[in-house]
Structure 1
C-alpha cells in the first residue's frame, strides 16, 4: 500500500495542465471511499478522456452497484490527456484513482471497459503510469488483477496478453460474482485467484484457457429485477452527454446485419414503464440535471414508451425537464414523437438511412424503405425543423456506384422537401467507412481498402452540387485500423505495445492519430495488417470462435446468404428468426424465449 498522493504534489500538477477538473474527483454523487481492510477494491478504468468516460452509462451503473456490495468498493480513473501524462512523467507521479487519490497498485483489481478498438493504446498509458507491467505473464503478487469487459470482450484477442480476465456479458450479473470470488480469496496467490475466476461462467482467463469449451456470454434476464442505478455521478466539467441517462431495454429485434451491438446484445429484454419512471424521478431529485435521455439501440421500439411519455408529461412540465430520444427511427412516427418534446425542438433531427438505395438497405437488412425516408423528412420539415443530419456508410458488401449516388439523391431530396415546406433545409451528411465486425453476418466479408474508401469519399464530395448539403467522410486510415483490430488476433498485441512505445495515444482522436507510425510498426514486426481486413472463408477458424455470444453460426450464415441475395429478414417481434436464443434463456421481454 503506497497511500494517497500528497495534496501539495497534486496541486502543483493540476496547476500545470488545462482542464484540471478532469483529474480532481470529488464530484457530486461520487464516494465516499468505504472503510475496511477486507474489502475488495476495484478501480474502474475508462481508456479515454474524462469527458468521454463520464458519458459512458456502464460506469454509472457498475459504480453504485459495486458500492452497494458489502464486500467491495469502487473508484475510477480515466486516461489523462497528453499534457497531464507528460506532467506526471516529469514529476514521477503515478496515476491515481479520483476518489481516494491512491495509486492503482493499491487496488485489488483494475477494470477496463473495451468500447472502441482505437482506445487500446490508452490502456497501456494507464498501466504504465500505474507502474503495472503490460503483460499478464509479467505481473507479480504485488500487482492488481487487470480485468476487462464491454463489447470488446467478445472479440478480445488483440488485447488478451494484457488482460488477466475478461468478463463476457452484462456487468450487472458478472461483477457481483467476480468481486465476491475475489473477496473470498483475499490474500490468496494470484494463480489461485485466476483459477477461481476462470471457473465462473462468462469469465475468460486467457492464460488458463484450454479450448475445451466456449466462453458463454452472461446476460441479465429480467431488467426490472436486476440492479439499476438510482444515483449518478455529476461531472465537474462539461461532458459529451450531460444528462440523466436511463437504459429502457437491452437488445434489438430489427436485425441489421452490419450492427454488432444489435446482434451481440440479444435477446430483447425490456424494462417496464413504471420502473423507468421511478428511476428517472429518483435520478432527477438526486442529481439536479434538467435533461433525461432514454437509451437503447432503438428507443422508439420500446413497448413502454407511450405509457412512460404519459407518466412523464406532468413531471416534465412542472419541473421544466427536457426529454431526449437519442435513437430515432427513420419514419414519421418517430418524428411526430420528437415533435412533442420541447427539448428536441431546437437544432435538427438525426436519422441513419445507412445506404443510398433500397437494394443496399435490403442487403444490410436496415428495414427502411424509400417511402419511409420520404415520410420522415416530410414530417421533419412540416413540423418546423430547419436542418437534418443523415448518417450513411460506404464500403458495404455488394456496394455499387449507384448505391453511392443514392446517398446524394437522398440529401437532395431532403432539400427539396424542406423547400416545399418553406424551411431552410440544411442537410449535414456524414459517411463512415464500413467495418465488418465479429459475431455479425458480415464477419467473413472483405473490408474496403484505404484507397477504395478515399476514392468513394472524394467521389461523393466532388459530385455534390447542392449548396444546402454539407458532406464529410471519416478518415479511411482510422477506419482501416479499426477493421484490423475488430477482427484481429493476439499477434496484434505486440503492435499495440510497440506503437504505444513510439508515441501512439488517443488513436480515435484525429489530432493525435498517426497512421505512418502504425504502418511502420506493422512493417517492422512483419505483421500483414491488410490480411486482417481481407475476406474470410466460412469454414476458417476465427479469432473469436471461442466466445459464445448466444447467436449461432448457422443463423449468421443464413443471414449472410440472404444479404448477398438482397433478401430481408423481418423484425423478430413478428416471428422468431431462429438466432439461437430460443430455449436457452428465460429473458423477460423477448417474445421467442421461454417465459
Structure 2
C-alpha cells in the first residue's frame, strides 16, 4: 500500500481525492506542451457544483497541446494526513504534485475562501508570496468575481484574469507556450502577458501609493506598455461559445448534483447591491434550439435526472415558458426534472412553476430582498408586495405548502420599519396559506436574512456596512417578530459578513493580515464550524490595521478606490448617479424595456445585449 492509499483509508470522504469520474479527462502528460491545474479553494462537493470549472476544463482539454486537471481544498482531516506523511497536494486526474504544473489557476468566488488559497499553495510546497517563487515553479493565476478587486491577494497571485475565462484562456496558453519554448523566465512572461493580452493584470508591475489618511493615492504601472487600466474580457457570441455537454459526473453527492445549462449570461435588472449584475453585463441569451441541443447531449453523456437552467435571472429568459414546456415534453416521461434557480416575483408565473415541478415537486423560493417598497426602491428591486401576494396565492392554490423568502438586512437607509415590513410580509404569506386551505401542519414559510456587504463596482461601493452590534440587534429584533409555528427564521453570522466586507473593499495592505491569519490556522472561513473570528482580530491587531476602517467608513465620490484601475465596463459616473438615485429612493429602468439607463458598458466595450426578439437598446450618447 502506497502512502496515498494509506492516508485515504484514514479520511472521512476519500472520494474527494481519487478522481476517475465519468467524463473526467486524463491525458498523456508527456504529449502536451502546457499543463494547467484548476484549483477550487473549497471542498470537492462545492467545487464540483461550479459551472465555471466545467467550462474551463472542457475548453482547455479540447486542445491537443494542453491539459487541465483539478484540485480542491483538502478538508482538515486530509490536510492533517498530507502534512503528517509529508505528501504534497496533488491533482485528481494524475495524482501529480501541483508543483509539476506550468500554471495553477484559482477561481475567486468568495472572499472567505482566500485563506484556503494560501493553504493550498503551502500544501503544494510553493511559497505563498509570488515574489518568493522562482522559475521552476508554476505561474499562479486567478480569475472570477473577486478578481474585480484583486488587491488583497496582490502579493500572492502572479496574474489575474479580469472577465470571462473562456474568452482569454486560449490567448494565455498560446503566449505561455511560445515564451516557454523561447526559454523566457517568469518575470519576462508576466511582463509580456500584461503588455499584449487585454484583461490581464499583473499586480507586481504596479506601484500603489497611499495618502496620509490611509486612502489610496494612486495605482500606476512601473513598466512601459503595461496598461494603466485593465478592462474586462467579454464573450461576444454567447450562442456559439464552447460549452461542456459532457461534464464530469461527480463520484459522490455534491451541492448541485445535476446537469447545468447556462441559458443566458448577465442581468438587466440593475439591483444596486448586486455585483454580479455589473460584472456579467451585457445580457446575452442563447437560442432555444442551442439549449435543447445542449440538454440532449448532456443527458445522454451524463445520465443526470435533473436539468438546471442556470443564470443570474433565468425567469427573464425570453421564451422561458415554451422552453421549459418543450424540455418537459421531451424528458418528463423519462423522469428527468427541469429546475430553475430562485424565481423573481415579477417574472413569476404559476404555470411555469407547475410545468417545472411536474416531475418532482419542491418548495418555491422568492427573494423580495427588502420588507418595504421604500427600501426596494432604494436598492432598485423592482418588485411589489402585490407581486408577492399574487405569486404565493397562486402557489398555495396550486398545491404548494412551503415557501422560502430571502431578505437582506443592513441595507443602506434601512430603518426598523423596514424590518417590521419583513415580519409583516412573512405573516401575510402564512395568512394567505391558511386562507388557501393549506393544512396548518404542512404550511411552512422560511425567512432567511443575509447581511448586506458593500461590493466593488456597485452603486453601494461607497456605503458603510452596519456594525456588528447593529446587525446582531436587527437579527434579534426579527427573531422576536417572527415567532410563529409556521415560520422558520434563519440568519447569517454577522462576523463572517464583516470580514467579507473588509476584503471586498480592501487594498494591498490586507495581504499581510491574510498571511498572518492563515499562519495562525485560518481555514475554511466560509464554514461556521471553522471560522475563528478571534484569530482574525489577532492578525489585524498584529499588523496594526483596523478592519472597521474598511467596512464601516463612508467613502467620498472623489476618493481613489483600491480597484479603480480594474474596469468592469460600467462607468463610475453611472454608479455615482445610481447611488444618488438610491438615496433619493428613485428606481432605474430595466434596460430590457428598450430604454437605456446609460451605464456606459455597450459603447465602452463596443458590444450590445443579445436579447432574443427583444427591443433594440440604443446606448445613450454622452452618458459614459
Structure 1 residues 311 and 36: CA distance shift in structure 2, 3 A: farther
Superimposed CA distance per residue, residues 70-90 of structure 1 (whole angstroms, 9 cap, x where no aligned partner): 321100000000000000000
Q: Give secondary structure in 2 for the equivalent of 1:338.
A: helix
Distance 1:367 1:113 in 2: 32
- Does 1:324 pair with 2:303? no
The Cα offsets for residues 533-567 of structure 1, whole Å up to 9 and x where unpaired, read as 12111111101000010000111011111100111
Q: 1:576 aligns with which of 592, 596, 603?
A: 596
Aligned to 2:94: 100
Q: 1:349-498 counterparts in 2 under 5 A?
A: 349-423=364-438, 424-498=442-516
Counterpart-to-counterpart distance in 2, 1:523 and 1:438: 25
User: In structure 2, what is the Cα distance between the partners aligned to 1:79 and 1:67?
Assistant: 22
2-structure distance, mates of 1:343, 1:530: 50
How far, CA to CA, are the matches of 1:15 and 1:130 in structure 2? 21
Task: Give the equivalent residue in structure 2 for 1:219.
Answer: 234
Q: Which residue of 2 aligns with 1:80?
A: 74
Name stretches of at least 5 consecutive residues in structure 1 with no aligned partner.
1-6
| 1:570 shift after superposition | 1.3
Q: 1:24 to 1:75 in 2, by over 3 A?
A: same
Given that 2:321 and 2:352 are in contact with CA atoms closer than 8 Å, whether structure 1 keeps it comes out as: no
CA–CA distance in structure 2, aligned partners of residues 333 and 240 of structure 1:
25
The residue that corresponds to 1:237 in the other structure is 252
In 1, the alpha carbon distance for the partners of 2:358 and 2:151 equals 42
* RMSD, matched Cα: 1.4
Comparing 467-476 with 35-44, greater Cα deviation is found at: 35-44
Paired residues of 1:336 and 1:379 also in contact (CA < 8 A): no
Q: Deviations over 1:463-496 (max 9, x none)?
A: 2232211112111101100000010011111111
Match 1:527 to one of 527, 539, 545: 545
Question: What is the DSSP-based 3-state SS (H/G/I as helix, E as strand, rest coil) of the residue aligned with 2:71?
Answer: strand
Contact kept, 8 Å, 1:272 with 1:304, in 2: the verdict is no
Contact map agreement 1:222 1:588 (CA 8 A) in 2: no
Give the Cα–Cα distance (whole angstroms) in 1 for the partners of residues 301 and 87 of structure 2.
Answer: 35
CA distances 1:425-484 after superposition (whole Å, capped 9, x unpaired): 211101111001000000000100101000100111022232211112111101100000
SS at the partner of 2:348?
A: helix
- Name 2:188's counterpart in structure 1: 192
Q: Could you tell me which residue of structure 1 aligns to residue 349 of structure 2?
A: 334
Alpha-carbon offset, residue 580 of structure 1: 0.6
CA contact (8 A) 2:524 2:531 kept: yes
Query: Does structure 1 residue 586 correspond to structure 2 residue 586?
Result: no
User: What's the secondary structure of 1:180's corresponding residue?
Assistant: helix
* CA distance in structure 1 between the aligned counterparts of 2:137 and 2:349, rounded to whole angstroms: 50
How far apart are the structure 2 equivalents of 1:38 and 1:387? 52
Match of 1:4 in 2: none
Residues 348-394 of structure 1 deviation map (CA, whole Å, 9 limit, x = unaligned): 11110100000000000001111101111111111111111111011
Structure 1 contact 221–585 (Cα < 8 Å) conserved: no
Alpha-carbon separation, structure 2, partners of 1:37 and 1:105: 18
Give the TM-score taking structure 1 as reference length: 0.97
Instruction: Judge which range, 328-337 or 218-227, deviates more.
Output: 328-337
Residues of 2 paired with 1:331 and 1:412: CA distance?
20
SS of 2:90 mapped into structure 1: coil
Contact 1:332 1:376 in 2 (8 A): no
Q: What is the Cα deviation at residue 35 of structure 1?
A: 4.2
Q: Distance in 2 between matches of 1:127 and 1:331?
A: 45
2:566 to 519, 532, 547: 547
Counterpart secondary structure, 1:132 = coil
Give 3-state SS (helix, strand or coil) of 1:162's partner: coil
2:201 pairs, out of 189, 204, 207, with 204
What is the CA–CA distance in structure 2 between the aligned matches of 1:286 and 1:124, rounded to whole Å? 36
Alpha-carbon shift at residue 254 of structure 1 (Å): 0.8
Secondary structure of the corresponding residue to residue 239 of structure 2:
coil
Partners of 1:105 and 1:592 in 2: CA distance: 49
CA distance in 2, matches of 1:32, 1:222: 30
> Counterpart in 1 of 2:580?
561
Alpha-carbon distance in structure 2 between the residues aligned to 1:421 and 1:224: 43
Q: 1:527 to 1:334 in 2, by over 3 A?
A: farther
Indicate if the aligned counterparts of 1:71 and 1:180 stay in contact, CA closer than 8 A.
Answer: no
| Structure 2: unaligned runs, 5 residues or longer | 207-219, 222-226, 620-624
Q: Within 1, Cα distance between the matches of 2:50 and 2:95?
A: 22
- Please show how residues 111-260 of structure 1 align to structure 2 within 5 Å: 111-186=105-180, 187-199=183-195, 200-209=197-206, 210-211=220-221, 213-260=228-275
CA distance in 1, matches of 2:352, 2:453: 32
2:217 aligned partner: none
